[in-house]
Amino acid sequence: MSPRHKAVASLVAAMVLVGSSVAVGRILVASLPIHFASLVRFLLASLVLAPLVALGPGGFPRLSRRTLAILGGQAVCGSFLFTVCLLGGLRLTGAAEAGVVAATTPAAVALLGWAFFRERPRPRALAGILAAMAGLTCLHAGEATAGAGPAPLAGNALVLCAVGFEAVFLLLRRAVTEPLSPLAAAMWVSLWGAALFLVPGLWQAASLHRADVTPAAVAAVVYYGLGVTAAAYILWFYGVVRVDAATAGVATAVMPVAALAFAALLCGERIGWRELAGCAGVLAGILCLAGGRKAAAAGGEAKT
């Protein structure tokens, strides 16, 4: 397998883990408050990642203030603001409409890559983006008006903000110029995430009842901390510096498809022809980009 294909596989695996968090999250929020669960999630990830980094080659990395600020920006966008905007939007709009808005994530990543990294999408990349977008549209065909919610316009605007914050999070790693391993990057983002959720998490912990801490909730928090946070961050940070922004953007399209599959497996939801057509479109987009030639802007392969 070529280095480019390894990077694409790493990005896809990261998005599968993130997508699984939707089904697992239903178990989590049924018992535990969101900010408290998020605090525990990032603390668990930090407790696992920090010793691995300290005992690894080179030990605990010393970073410049610029790099620390970039990693902090990733945590603010991807760990805090994304969650706040998405959950706030879902209170105002329907899940189907929110899903259609969230399907713009690949386009948002490619657009930001074009604007800030000067990575003009190649024809093959544009074809991959269009295929993924068409597939994600199929997932919600004919459902956009169902359960519109009390304020769909404001809700969709919040979800669109969440998409923007996620796109910034996914691309900010490319702005780090210092040598930084995927393991160390994941550790720093987890530490930042724990710090951001510390105050609201402790505030919610004060009103937590022992009966709320069920075995299912504990298992879900552990999975969030070790799988969705630690493992997914490592996989994403490994791949995102080795491919162009358009490829990374289409890889994010795996997330809602994975969420759909895990919802069927863990929650028993039915999958119809629209869902299957959506999966086919997303996979076509990924294969289109993975098979394309490596962009010159993806010269981050030398990074570790």
Instruction: Mean pLDDT check: name the lowest of 59-63, 95-99, 119-123, 262-266.
Output: 95-99
Cβ atoms 248, 109 nearer than 8 A: yes
What was the pLDDT predicted at 46?
92
- Residue 131 located in a structural domain: yes
- Cβ burial, residue 145 (10 Å; 0-12/13-18/19+): exposed
What was the pLDDT predicted at 88?
72
What was the pLDDT predicted at 304?
31
Rounded alpha-carbon distances, angstroms, from residue 140 to 17, 160, 255: 22, 16, 15
Q: In this predicted model, what pLDDT tens digit does every residue of 41-100 receive, in sequence order?
A: 899 999 999 998 888 777 777 788 888 888 888 889 887 888 778 767 766 765 555 655
Reported pTM: 0.70
Give the range of the structural domain holding residue 12, as residue numbers without chain letter. 3-294
- Residue 302 located in a structural domain: no
- Residue 299 located in a structural domain: no
Q: At what angle do helices 3-29 and 34-55 cross, to 10 degrees?
A: 140
- Cβ burial, residue 48 (10 Å; 0-12/13-18/19+): middle
Q: In this predicted model, what pLDDT tens digit does every residue of 179-215 receive, in sequence order?
A: 778 788 888 888 988 999 999 999 999 988 888 788 8
Quick one: DSSP state of residue 167?
A: H
- Residue 303 located in a structural domain: no
Number of domains in the chain: 1
- Residue 220 located in a structural domain: yes
- Residue 300 located in a structural domain: no
- Residue 304 located in a structural domain: no
Q: How far apart are CA 180 and CA 191, in angstroms?
A: 15
- Residue 301 located in a structural domain: no
